[in-house]
Amino acid sequence: MTPTSSPPLADLAVIRHFIDGRYVESPRPLFDNRDPATGKVVAQVHEADAAIVAHAVDAARRALQGPWATLSGQARAKVLRRLADGIRDRFDEFVAAEIRDTGKPASLASHLDIPRGAANFEVFADQIAASATEAFRSDTPDGRGALNYGLRTPRGVIAVICPWNLPLLLMTWKVAPALAFGNTVVVKPSEETPSTTTLLGEVMRDAGVPDGVFNVVHGFGPDSAGQYLTEHPDVDAITFTGETRTGTAIMQAAAVGVRPVSFELGGKNAGIVFADCDLDAAVAGIARSAFLNSGQVCLGTERVYVERPVFEAFVSRLKTAAEALVPGDPWAESTSFGPLISSRHRDKVLGYYARALDDGATVVTGGGVPQLPDALAGGYWVQPTIWTGLPEDSAVIREEIFGPCCHVAPFDREDEAIARANASPYGLATTIWTGDLTRAHRVAAAIEVGVAWVNCWFLRDLRTAFGGARQSGIGREGGVHGLEFYTELRNVCIKL
């Protein structure tokens, strides 16, 4: 059910770090947390200095030796299920905290962000029992019959660095497998969205997670919590979701000590619509993939290639879908479209809107800022926007915008659509729309991405591998795939 008003979030008026089972403050000046729907300051956040980060890492390191290490897999799975229940028990508070940080519509927070935040813990509770180990009998002259088997141990202290677009969902997507496989974590949520991660500290405590297993430090990237955390020598591995450029900086920090990384990075995803598709479904699917969460989804479609016979009809129907989106108060039932996360991000997106005009785009719809009531006038709003007519070398087609916009271009041949989709340094996701299953398999195999959806988008089975190719990521998480990153694999060889 979608809640229609916010419960009080008194405990989140000042946002503190969560370390070793306690909320703690730090000496640096607090920074403002703003509601993107109004632009108003809604909370003050403590910023971690190097000492606070060291305290969190130390707590996580000590917790590796405590009761967490001796829990059976079944007992850990029970704890994870209690975490899922704990989020659900405080569902309205989590929804309200996520809305306050992001401005997203209540319908979205209550149907996607918070339910997935809870489900992530259940899925990885299941994985504890599902993860098998390999075994080999040697067949070499010196070791005939020797038994080899894999033994997985936790990596240790994992740094979890998160973005702002789906805060609880993306954070728990990493924290759940880290805990499931026996690690401890220090989480740094985005400076834009500190609230739900902070609230999760209480849920951890109430669910009986031992002190020090889950820690949270707040702050920014460079010269702040992010940098201190990734450079801390006692962090054993770093999992990060965010911009490719930030991933480069984090990889440099991880190089010291040769620590493993798992990265989910940016994208410039292409959608391909063939003339034989169900056009209504394709329009609805592409509209969702371009405009959900105001386009602030890494898997979103910013480049659409449509087979020429249906191009005009597709563009006209996509325009109708974009214009049906209703911006407004996140708590209003009629609202289906939220603001961007910050004034800085809005300026970036509007910069691309201007660039599209400079590069000769035809604006099918949008391109500016919507008219809204006075109460929302200070928020970070832009219109859902569709362009046609841009050259393929325009920055609008090459670079990730991360806003509610897409460019639609016609194509004539399947190989041409594939080549244009692949002409990107990124390789995160694609969505393919066709009624021809043979073609669907062929095209899904030819697009160089980590996730290929056919006649759907963002349809997630959490047991499957998730991640990006090329500059969209390193490694795969999801289901048992996370074992590679969240555990160390030792081979035990016994001569019999």
The interface partner of residue 379, options being ligand 6OD, ligand NAD, none and the CB cut-off 5 to 8 Å by kind, is none
- In the complex, least distance from residue 240 CB atom to ligand 6OD, rounded to whole angstroms: 12
Determine which residue in the list 165, 215, 262, 301 makes contact with ligand 6OD, applying CB under 6 A. 165
Determine which residue in the list 117, 182, 221, 367 makes contact with ligand NAD, applying CB under 6 A. 221
Active site residue 298: yes
Cβ of 44: how many Cβ atoms within 10 Å? 14
- In the complex, least distance from residue 172 CB atom to ligand 6OD, rounded to whole angstroms: 9
Rounded Cα distance, 107 and 327, in Å = 13
298, 302, 406, 477: the catalytic one is: 298
Token pair, residue 269, equals: 């995803």
Choice between 144 and 245, CB closer to ligand NAD: 245
Is 108 an interacting residue with respect to ligand 6OD (CB under 6 A)? no
- Indicate the residue whose CB is closest to ligand NAD: 221
* # residues near ligand 6OD by CB under 6 A: 10
Rounded Cα distance, 257 and 424, in Å = 32
Beta bridge partners of 201: none
239, 242, 246, 251 alpha-carbon torsion, rounded to 10°: 20
- In the complex, least distance from residue 214 CB atom to ligand NAD, rounded to whole angstroms: 17
Choice between 97 and 429, CB closer to ligand 6OD: 429
- In the complex, least distance from residue 268 CB atom to ligand NAD, rounded to whole angstroms: 9
The interface partner of residue 460, options being ligand NAD, ligand 6OD, none and the CB cut-off 5 to 8 Å by kind, is ligand 6OD
Active site residue 93: no
Q: Where does 292-342 have alpha helices with state H?
A: 308-323
8 A C-beta contact, residue 216 and residue 187 = yes
Choice between 182 and 266, CB closer to ligand NAD: 266
CA 366-372-374 angle, 5° bins: 155
Rounded Cα distance, 72 and 56, in Å = 25
Handedness of CA 307, 313, 316, 321 (dihedral sign): negative
Q: Chain centroid to CA 454: how far?
A: 21
Is 170 an interacting residue with respect to ligand 6OD (CB under 6 A)? yes
Q: Hey, which residues between 75 and 114 contact ligand NAD (CB under 6 A)?
A: none
Is 239 an interacting residue with respect to ligand 6OD (CB under 6 A)? no
Run of H or E residues at 173: helix 167-180
Rounded Cα distance, 421 and 270, in Å = 5
Choice between 16 and 317, CB closer to ligand NAD: 16
- In the complex, least distance from residue 11 CB atom to ligand 6OD, rounded to whole angstroms: 28
Q: How far is CA 259 from CA 173, 249, 255, in A?
A: 21, 14, 6
Beta bridge partners of 188: 161
Determine which residue in the list 77, 160, 283, 297 makes contact with ligand 6OD, applying CB under 6 A. 297
Q: Which stretch binds ligand NAD (CB under 6 A): 62-70, 99-107, 241-249, 268-276?
A: 241-249
Burial of 241 (0-12, 13-18, 19+ CB in 10 A): buried
Determine which residue in the list 121, 124, 173, 486 makes contact with ligand 6OD, applying CB under 6 A. 173
Choice between 431 and 434, CB closer to ligand NAD: 431
Question: Residue-wise over 381-416: b if at least 16 C-beta within 10 A, else e?
Answer: bbbbbbbbebeeebebbebbbbbbbbbbbbbeebee
Rounded Cα distance, 254 and 155, in Å = 14
Report the interface residues with ligand 6OD, using CB under 6 A: 165-166, 170, 173, 264, 297-299, 460, 466
Q: Give me the active site residues, please.
A: 264, 298
The site for ligand NAD (CB under 6 A) is made up of: 161-165, 170, 188, 190-191, 220-222, 226-227, 230, 241-243, 246, 249-250, 264-267, 298, 400, 402, 428, 468, 472-473
